[in-house]
Structure 1
Amino acid sequence: MSKRIRIIEGTWNCTSCDTKGILARHKKCPQCNNPRELTGKESEFDFGGTDAATGKALREGVTDETALELAGAGADWFCAYCGASNRGDQTLCKHCQAERTQDAKALQEEEAADDEHPLRAPPRASSAKKTLGKVALVLGGSLFFCCSGTLIYGLWSTATHDTSGQLVRTEWKRTVFQERFTPVTLEGWQDELHAQPPRMPVNGLGESAGVQNIRGCVSSRRGSRKVADGTERVCSTKTRKKACGTEEKCQTRNKGNGFQEEVCRDVTRYCDESYEDCRNETRYRQEPVYAQKCNYDTYQWKEVARRELSGQSGEPPRWPELSMSPTDRLRREEHYVLHVEYDDDGKKQATFEPKTEQEFLSWKPGQPVSVTVTNGGDIQKLLPR
């Protein structure tokens, strides 16, 4: 892989007399004789453009010995006394003859490219990428706020705060369900049915539904399964990289003195090649699965009656009464509600549901309370005050 090296000379602008395009070899302005200084952007060099495809500089390289000697003299340094620019290999300021001291500032010379990876450019954020990133951030933020209003409201509505209030009213409701162990006919798969006699409950306990009189079995579709049904040739078009000659690629490095070193090499060029990727794949089909479905006799608990009682403040909770046979059982449900009025920039009302009768009976209407409530009006905690 051949290597070609060129030296590119930059230009600078004098901030004293506004002369433009001064060659880097001049440490002083040819018009006003003022030395080039570190301040005022006089040390920012223009090296011209580069070819987007190859990275090759569009400006011609220098060949005269004077310019090449300056390019190899090292990074420029600036006198700590007069600020003038000097060659990197000089020890005395050319402008005021002061010695180069440790506080003399110098331009930065970039490191040479690695021979193993000569075209690897140093990581640098592209302004285009930065712009696209900002646009994506703005669009993403807009989309978030546009489409996440419900989420934001949900987070706000579940946030809690503490306030004070008063218990204004209590409610209770109790329901008793009478259930009877009743014979029924059901369907089931024959391989899952095992005949066994039922056992009747005593005082609503100890029952066993049993399975009896399995009959009327017919073949029914129970589901489906996937079975192999041969193979088929499946092809898809893919793309791969293929060497297709060479191309010139260039890389430049700043020498810190107004010159750039350009290194160009001929590297392998890769082109996209389309090809067919084919393979044999197993083909599957869905096959129905059948089994014997049968009728059978068994028992289930079924509701035959219910009674409900409710009351408000001052009425103690009690259960409704139901008469039942020895094979019946009772199922009970209870529900308690406290109505609370709290002061949260104006009177508001909410409800709180105690879990047990004991907890419900500990509250009395008119009692002052401390409330932990969400912004949406749900009471999370209720304490006497």
Structure 2
Amino acid sequence: MGRRRGRSRIVELRWTCSSCGTAGILGRHKVCPACGSPRETEEMSMAGLGAGDYQGGRNVGTTVTDPALLALGREGADRFCAYCGAGNRASATACARCGGTELVDERPKNPPGAPDDDPLPLTPSRPRRKKGRRFLLFAVAAAVVFGGYRYWATRTHDLAGTVSAMSWRHDTVRQRWVQVTRSDWRDSLHPAPAKMPVDGKGERPGVEILPSTCQEKFHHTEQYACGTENVCSEESYQVQTGETCSESCTDNGNGFATCTEYCSPTYSTEHRTVCRDETKYCDRDIFETWCSYRTWEWTDVETKTVAGSSKQGTHRDIAWAALTPGALERIAKRSQYEVVVDYRWDDARLQERIQPRKLGQEGERPDGRARDGAYLSWTLGEEVVVEKQNNGDVAGVWRGKARDDPARRR
């Protein structure tokens, strides 16, 4: 419920005679009772509507009940004689003082074309909110700082480096195709016959579920609707407890004012318990079938390792151990290679370790960045270029001597 307009009433104002100074003259009088001077436009700013004339939001003026005074108060704003300036009732056709027939409304303080004696100061415009602008400026500044740091951090420098060490490791593994027992959920098992390898290839593991091994086993927990339950909670609500009223008074321009009552409801916060039936959920364990099965897989049965480090100008020691596969066996080879590059950065001696992916051919010299090049393409003691970023990361290692070539920078 919003604001409600209540009753209206008429109150009588009081004015002060500018000729003799008599104050508190009732608004019904258009002539000063003391000196007989007529009420003119400059005496229309009457007492009775100031801040001190209100108490508890209501005007303290007495409500006019006399029918004649009510008619006078509701008649309309006074009109003033254009000749003598005397005030007259709104319904008058001639001046009560001089008989002039030209009656006008209250004369404005500054007639059209007259300069303003006391111009009102311009109302300053409300300053714009700067919160959004400040946030935008902060975001832009943060983006600039972050972008600048990222740009600086990824700038690179070409540093002279030298291959200081090279090492390798070769594992020769003999693997056997063996039958094993495993367990898994029945839904993920697809029985199929196994196929034995020929010369270490062409095999298929197969799946054979073992009889009498399948059993129910806990798989997961799920929720389900298991009825309803009465759930109660406290809630607050507003209750109208009455209303507060105040008056707004408007000068009628004739010695009276109209006061209108406006009322707004008042509320209090109350609390109550509200109960409702809601769906109840319970947990239950879900079981699924777990089975053991036979399958085949490759298993390491023997490993021989040969390892070493390359010496200046030769890779002759690199070799593989020899193993002979038997029936249902094969030979697998695994390798690890490492090249160590020494370089200096801000007077600190550092190392970059490179793990080539393959052995390659001796004398192989790939172009460009050689981080993943063949092991045999490297030579102990050769000069390389370490591309170092400002943030300390190594962007790459190049073959050849260091030189300041912008085309090689990222």
In structure 2, the partner of 1:108 is: 123
In structure 1, the partner of 2:398 is: 383
1:180 maps onto 2:176 in alignment: yes
Paired residue type of 2:283? Q
Q: How does 1:159-198 map to 2 (within 5 A)?
A: 161-164=156-159, 165-190=161-186, 192-198=188-194
- 1:328 Cα offset (Å): 1.9
Is the contact between residue 176 and residue 308 of structure 1 (CA under 8 Å) also seen in structure 2? Answer: yes
2:215 aligned to which of 213, 219, 222: 219
In structure 2, the partner of 1:367 is: 382
Give unpaired runs (5+ residues) of structure 2: 9-56, 58-107, 139-149, 247-260, 361-372, 402-410
TM-score normalised by structure 2 residue count: 0.49
CA separation in 2, counterparts of 1:123 and 1:221?
72
Q: How does 1:194-213 map to 2 (within 5 A)?
A: 194-212=190-208
CA separation in 1, counterparts of 2:322 and 2:199?
16
- 1:244 Cα offset (Å): 4.5
1:231 aligned to which of 228, 232, 248: 228
Is the contact between residue 220 and residue 291 of structure 1 (CA under 8 Å) also seen in structure 2? Answer: yes
Paired residue type of 1:355? R
1:335 maps onto 2:354 in alignment: no
Tell me the secondary structure at the aligned position of residue 198 of structure 2: coil
In structure 2, the partner of 1:309 is: 306
**CA deviation profile, 1:305-364 (whole Å, cap 9, x unmatched):** 112222223335433322112422333332222211222111222322233334132222
Is the contact between residue 217 and residue 290 of structure 2 (CA under 8 Å) also seen in structure 1? Answer: no
CA separation in 1, counterparts of 2:207 and 2:122?
96
- 1:219 Cα offset (Å): 2.9
Paired residue type of 1:380? A
Tell me the secondary structure at the aligned position of residue 217 of structure 1: coil
CA separation in 2, counterparts of 1:381 and 1:190?
50
Change (3 A) 1:166 1:269: farther
1:91 maps onto 2:104 in alignment: no
1:285 maps onto 2:287 in alignment: no
CA separation in 2, counterparts of 1:322 and 1:378?
43
Paired residue type of 2:115? T
Q: How does 1:352-363 map to 2 (within 5 A)?
A: 352-358=354-360, 359=373, 360-363=375-378
CA separation in 1, counterparts of 2:334 and 2:123?
84
Is the contact between residue 209 and residue 291 of structure 2 (CA under 8 Å) also seen in structure 1? Answer: no
Is the contact between residue 217 and residue 292 of structure 1 (CA under 8 Å) also seen in structure 2? Answer: no
CA separation in 1, counterparts of 2:287 and 2:398?
62
TM-score normalised by structure 1 residue count: 0.52
Larger Rg: 2
Q: Output the aligned Cα RMSD.
A: 4.5
Is the contact between residue 190 and residue 292 of structure 1 (CA under 8 Å) also seen in structure 2? Answer: yes
**CA deviation profile, 1:198-241 (whole Å, cap 9, x unmatched):** 11011221111222362223533232433332211122223345
In structure 1, the partner of 2:345 is: 344
Paired residue type of 1:353? Q
Change (3 A) 1:366 1:125: same
Tell me the secondary structure at the aligned position of residue 361 of structure 1: helix
**CA deviation profile, 1:261-289 (whole Å, cap 9, x unmatched):** xxx97544454333334332222222233
Paired residue type of 1:342? Y
Tell me the secondary structure at the aligned position of residue 290 of structure 2: strand
4+ long deviations beyond 6 Å: 122-126
In structure 2, the partner of 1:260 is: none
Change (3 A) 1:93 1:282: closer
Tell me the secondary structure at the aligned position of residue 196 of structure 1: coil
In structure 2, the partner of 1:295 is: 292
Change (3 A) 1:108 1:218: same
- 1:92 Cα offset (Å): 6.0
Paired residue type of 2:343? Y
CA separation in 2, counterparts of 1:382 and 1:348?
14
Is the contact between residue 173 and residue 333 of structure 2 (CA under 8 Å) also seen in structure 1? Answer: yes
Aligned residues: 249
Tell me the secondary structure at the aligned position of residue 227 of structure 1: strand
Tell me the secondary structure at the aligned position of residue 212 of structure 2: strand
**CA deviation profile, 1:142-162 (whole Å, cap 9, x unmatched):** xxxxxxxxxxxxx99x86742
Greater Cα shift, 307-316 or 369-378: 369-378
Is the contact between residue 178 and residue 299 of structure 2 (CA under 8 Å) also seen in structure 1? Answer: yes
Tell me the secondary structure at the aligned position of residue 279 of structure 1: strand
CA separation in 2, counterparts of 1:230 and 1:274?
29
CA separation in 1, counterparts of 2:179 and 2:109?
107
CA separation in 2, counterparts of 1:305 and 1:160?
50
CA separation in 2, counterparts of 1:125 and 1:241?
35
